[in-house]
Structure 1
Amino acid sequence: MIVEGTVLRGREFDPVEGRVVVEDGEISAVEEADVDSERIVLPAFVNAHTHIGDSIAKEAGSGLSLDDLVAPPDGLKHRLLRAASREEKVEAMRRSLRMMQATGTATCIEFREGGVEGVEAIRAAADGLDIDPVVLGRETADAMRASDGFGASGARDAEFADLREATREAGKLFGIHAGERDSLDIDPALDLSPDFAVHMVHPEASHLDRIEESGVPIVLCPRSNLVTNVGVAPVRDLVDRTTVALGTDNVMLNSPSMFREMEFLNKLADVSAAEVLRMATVNGAELAGKNYGVVEEGREAKLLVLDGDSDNLAGAKDPVRAVVRRAGRADVTDVLL
């Protein structure tokens, strides 16, 4: 397979005119050449934090606090999940996965409620699709063993030391929510040496030092944080100290669109478009242990192709900024997963 256009090459997304050569699902060459194409070729996205079980309850719970919305076991989302049938949950998740696939997302890192049954449900939802979610079970060690790891709710009111050790012994991912409402659960979360932490809206100086020293990656969900009224993470400080990835969080609150998340973050925070695109691609891919997220030789060919001559993108002088701040689903011409 050969894909031609303006290729956003490497970790810096250098725009070069040319082609990407794909053999057996791997990028075998990125060649500079004169080509007759207005397309923009970039790595597919990695949505580094989702709760897509919430797809059954989009825009529910307006005006509720964060705890009333999502705190286990009796937050609104958990009550709605318990009330829904397995078939309803699987179909709703399948719709969200299809939407992510159509907008260029290769994988999402899903914190999956419902124990082993919840893990099996999202596997059923993804069956036959090209998007391949990384599923982190919750609630039990059995859910961790049945999935790709464990997604902890947070170290404020729960003890996860045993589950952390079991996840480490299994060689799987351990992620945890931290610093979403306040700073009180950050040190307990970092004490667990997680593979990554999600949100980190309220780190203090000592927490930033610990994050830098340990190299713990952070996943930001800026739209979700504003919807739940918990604040804005210190994005520049985090980017300067560690690897930062990007997620869309609960489908209950936000669409799982990386286009929307990138635009929002780039216009909100003191970070460049290239930094945001790294958060949405290679940073999330490497956090998940995936060999994609970059257009370069030897990587898996997970690619997104946009129409650079669409009414929305035509005339853009900076293709990276155009992708991050302007592009959307209507500009997608191909998703190669």
Structure 2
Amino acid sequence: MIVEGTVLRGPEFEPVEGRVVAEDGEITAVEEEAVDTENIVLPAFVNAHTHLGDSIAKEAGAGLSLDDLVAPPDGLKHRLLAAATREETVEAMHRSLRLMGSTGTAACIEFREGGVEGVEYIREAAAGLPVDLTILGRETEAAMHEADGFGASGARDADFDRLRNATREAGKLFGIHAGERDPHDINAALDLDPDFLVHMVHPEAIHYDRVADNDTPVVVCPRSNLVTGVGVPPIRELGERTTVALGTDNVMLNSPSMFREMAVAAKLADVPATDVLRMATRNGAKLAGLNYGVIEPGREAKLLVLDGDTDNLAGARDVVRAVVRRAGAADVKDVIL
């Protein structure tokens, strides 16, 4: 396979005119050479935090507080999930996953409600689609064993010590929401030694220090935080201390679009476009243990090709900045997953 265009090469996304060469799904070379195309070739996205079950309830709950929307066990989403049939939930998740794949998302890390049955639902939803799933079961140890790890709601909701130990013994991934409403659950979440935290909208000095000392990655979801009114994550400050990845969070609140998430993050945070693109690609892949997110030899050839000659992108003086702040689904020319 050969893909030509302006290639955003390596971990710094250096724009080079040339081609990506791949064999058997692996990048073997990135060749710098003049080519006759306006294509822009970049790594496919990794969405580092999703709740895809919420696809059954898009735009439900307008005006509700965060707790009334999503807090277990009685938040609106949990009531709607409990009332939905298996067929409804699977079909809704399938459509979200199909949208993600068609717009360049190669993988996602999913916090999956519903115990073992919930894990089975999303595997059924993903059948036949090219998006790689890292599924973190919720609610029970059995769900963790059935999935790729455990996704905890938050340290204020329950005591997760036993489940954390069981997840560690199983050699699986453990993530937890923290600092979304306020800072009061962050230390308790960090005490669990998680593989990553989600949200971290309200860290204080001690939390920054602990995150840096333990090199604990953080997934930020700025669009979700804006919709629920909890604030804006300090993306630059977190990025100065640890690995930061991007997630789109609840589908009931926002579309699972990494284009939109990048644009909002870039416009809220005082960070370079290359950092934001890294959050949407390499950093999420690193968190999930995936060998892509960077265009370089030895990586899996998970690629997104944009048409740089659309009315939206033509004339861009800074290609990476245009990809991060301006590109969208209408600019997608090809997705190689």
Aligned match of 1:121? 121
Aligned match of 1:291? 291
The offset of 1:269, in angstroms, is 1.0
Percentage of matched positions with identical amino acids = 78
Aligned match of 2:183? 183
Aligned match of 2:74? 74
Within a 5 Å distance, the mapping from 1:225-244 to structure 2 comes to 225-244=225-244
Deviation sequence 1:10-35 (CA, Å, 0-9, x none): 11000000000010100000010111
Aligned match of 2:259? 259
Aligned match of 1:153? 153
Deviation sequence 1:124-151 (CA, Å, 0-9, x none): 0000001111110000011001111100
Within a 5 Å distance, the mapping from 1:65-104 to structure 2 comes to 65-104=65-104
CA distance in 2 between partners of 1:302 and 1:336 (Å): 6
Aligned match of 2:58? 58
Deviation sequence 1:197-234 (CA, Å, 0-9, x none): 00000000000000000000000000000100100111
Would you say 1:331 and 2:331 are equivalent positions? yes
The DSSP-based 3-state class of the residue aligned with 2:201 is coil
The DSSP-based 3-state class of the residue aligned with 2:101 is helix
The offset of 1:58, in angstroms, is 0.3
Deviation sequence 1:253-297 (CA, Å, 0-9, x none): 000000000001101111111000000000000000000000000
Would you say 1:222 and 2:222 are equivalent positions? yes
What one-letter code is carried by the residue in structure 1 that aligns with 2:234?
A: P
CA distance in 1 between partners of 2:132 and 2:14 (Å): 27
Would you say 1:269 and 2:257 are equivalent positions? no
The DSSP-based 3-state class of the residue aligned with 2:50 is strand
CA distance in 2 between partners of 1:90 and 1:179 (Å): 30
What one-letter code is carried by the residue in structure 1 that aligns with 2:296?
A: E
CA distance in 2 between partners of 1:234 and 1:329 (Å): 27
Aligned match of 1:249? 249
The DSSP-based 3-state class of the residue aligned with 2:12 is coil
Structure 1 unpaired stretches of 5+ = none
What one-letter code is carried by the residue in structure 2 that aligns with 1:271?
A: V
CA distance in 2 between partners of 1:183 and 1:110 (Å): 24
TM-score, length basis structure 1: 0.99
The DSSP-based 3-state class of the residue aligned with 2:294 is coil
Structure 2 unpaired stretches of 5+ = none
Would you say 1:205 and 2:205 are equivalent positions? yes
CA distance in 2 between partners of 1:15 and 1:198 (Å): 31
Aligned length: 337
What one-letter code is carried by the residue in structure 1 that aligns with 2:183?
A: S
Aligned match of 1:5? 5
Give the ranges of 4+ consecutive aligned residues of structure 1 lying more than 4 Å apart after TM superposition: none
Deviation sequence 1:282-324 (CA, Å, 0-9, x none): 0000000000000000001100000001111110111100100
CA distance in 2 between partners of 1:163 and 1:302 (Å): 33
The DSSP-based 3-state class of the residue aligned with 1:299 is coil
What one-letter code is carried by the residue in structure 2 that aligns with 1:112?
A: R
TM-score, length basis structure 2: 0.99
Deviation sequence 1:232-266 (CA, Å, 0-9, x none): 11111101000000000000000000000000110
The offset of 1:157, in angstroms, is 2.8
Aligned match of 1:142? 142
